[in-house]
Amino acid sequence: MKISHRQIEKVRVFIMGQQEHKCPLCHAPLRGGTTKKKPALDHDHDTGFIRGVLCLHCNGMEGKIIRAAQRGAGKGNDALAWLHRMIDYLDLHSTPQWSAPGRRGLIHPLHKTENDKRLARLAKAKAKRRAAKLVKG
């Protein structure tokens, strides 16, 4: 049954009550509490069916993610199945899968550890001080 614009608020309030006034994705309170995230009546853009009430942030992210999944899956393929495979892939690789003899986990050469980043910041600051000293000269 298609609802009218005047019914949106009543439906949103009803669904939020069923969801205990929390965004089902980030679990932030939708009304009251400390965050007071603004609620959005989420719906499937293909079918029009109302799915639930999300905070505006999660509603926007859901749209971006499903569009990205549609691109990832390729034309005519199931974006939801692609997302499930993506989650399975990330779960599988949450611990190192590829190793070299005597070592656990291969690390990409472009990856910077927190210590690498710290050392780069220190080197940049040192170079900046050296340049400033030369200018004052």
In a domain, 44, yes or no: yes
Q: What is the pLDDT of residues 70-102, one digit of tens each?
A: 999 998 899 999 999 999 999 999 988 888 888
Counting the structural domains of the chain, the total is 1
Residue 30 to residues 44, 56, 85, 87, 133, Cα–Cα distance (Å) = 20, 10, 31, 27, 54
| Amino acid letter for position 1 | M
Residue 117 lies in a domain: no
Q: Is 23 exposed, middle or buried (0-12, 13-18, 19+ CB in 10 A)?
A: buried
Q: Which residues contact 24 (CB under 8 A, 6 or more apart)?
A: 52, 54
Specify the pLDDT at position 31: 75
The answer as to whether 45 is a domain residue is yes
Question: Which of the pair, 96 or 34, is modelled with greater confidence?
Answer: 96
Asked if the structure places residue 29 within a domain, the reply is: yes
Mean pLDDT of 48-71: 95
- What is the pLDDT at residue 67? 93
Residue 7 has pLDDT above 60, yes or no: yes
pLDDT at 33: 44
| Residue 118 belongs to some domain of the structure | no
Percentage with pLDDT > 90 across the chain: 76
- Measured between its terminal Cα atoms, the distance across the chain in Å is 78
Q: What share of the chain is helix, strand, coil (3-state, %, to 5)?
A: 50, 10, 40
Q: Yes or no: say if 23 and 30 are a contact pair by the CB < 8 Å rule.
A: yes
With beta carbons less than 8 A apart as the criterion, state whether 51 and 43 touch: yes
Within 10 A of 69 (CB to CB), how many other CB atoms are there?
A: 19
Domain that holds residue 74: 5-92
Is residue 126 assigned to a domain?
A: no
Give Cα 37 distance to the centre of its chain. 17
Q: Looking at residue 78, which CATH number applies to its domain?
A: 3.40.1800.10
Quote the pLDDT of residue 36. Answer: 61
pLDDT band, very low/low/confident/very high, at 11 (cuts 50, 70, 90): very high
Judge whether 111 lies within some domain.
no
Q: 64 in a domain, yes or no?
A: yes
Check: pTM over 0.85? Answer yes or no.
no
